[in-house]
Structure 1
């Protein structure tokens, strides 16, 4: 299965960029994980870019209004998605500074919140990459995650 993190805007914060790269490097042994960046712009244009980039994939939109699972619950949910034969790719959509438009959220298969707080897109990308790594290690049975 391919996992695509699609984010509006390139990482500019050096510490966030370094952390994202580190977790993507670690994830290589657990499957195909990619980071794709889209150019920012007017909200409607960005929304369409996100939808176009994720067309035909299982869309997980990151938004503070989404479901707030524990890491273990997210790992269990990911297992269910991975086992579904109709899901070949999962796209994680991280929106622009003003957040996702309602139409973008409505196109989601799942809306995920990493926090009750609004996160800057680079930090959201870093947090997501770390959680994906944590979920991958749970699936692999390695001792990274501790309940």
Structure 2
């Protein structure tokens, strides 16, 4: 199983890049892993919120393969604790899912078309975080889930 983490926006900013790179490398011991930072549509600042979300949805839906398991990070989603995320990942691996895509939407969230395509909606927290920090938290939590599944010492409970 391959893990892909997609985010709409700018490249990783310096204050989180080292952490994202470190956790991504660590995840690579367990699964093939990659980041894909998707540039916002041209003239995004001139578009209405709904139009921007639709354009972003077109880009996302075009990039997805039919057999990709899409986990959309969205405030309407279901939360996990760390052990729950570990079980979720293990279940996808057991189902022989080829690729799990974790998607962080743009500044205004995700369009309804993406929600409908998503296999799972995941709420990372009731709190609101900057998109750059969400990237770091996502990478760390996926790494944590991998260590839980291997019964390694990283996660203390």
1:80 alignment partner in structure 2: 91
Aligned pairs for 1:95-114 (under 5 A) are: 95-114=105-124
Shift of 1:6: 0.9
Q: State the 4+ residue runs in structure 1 displaced beyond 3 angstroms.
A: none
- Distance, in Å, in 2 between the alignment partners of 1:129 and 1:52 is 24
Alignment-derived partner of residue 142 in structure 2: 132
TM-score of the two chains, using structure 2 as the length reference: 0.87
Q: Does 1:59 align with 2:70?
A: yes
Structure 1 SS opposite 2:76:
strand
Q: In the aligned structure 2, how far is the partner of 1:50 from the partner of 1:112?
A: 17
**Mind listing any 5+ residue stretches in structure 1 that lack a counterpart?**
none
Q: Distance in 2 between matches of 1:90 and 1:81?
A: 8
SS of the aligned residue for 1:30 comes to coil
Q: Could you tell me how far apart the structure 2 residues matched to 1:117 and 1:108 are? A: 22
Count of matched residue positions in the alignment of Structure 1 and Structure 2:
146
Counterparts of 1:140 and 1:26 in 2: how far apart (Å)? Answer: 13
Q: How far apart are 1:12 and its partner, in Å? A: 4.5
Q: TM-score, with normalisation over the residues of structure 1? A: 0.93
Q: CA deviation at 1:100?
A: 0.6
Whole-Å Cα distance in 1 between the matches of residues 134 and 62 of structure 2? 21
Any residues of structure 2 matched to 1:1-147 within 5 Å, and which? 1-41=1-41, 42-56=52-66, 57-85=68-96, 87-147=97-157
Would the alpha carbon gap of residues 77 and 45 (structure 1) be closer, same or farther in structure 2, given more than 3 Å must change? Answer: same
CA contact (8 A) 1:6 1:50 kept: no
User: 5+ unaligned residues in a row in structure 2: which ranges?
Assistant: 42-51
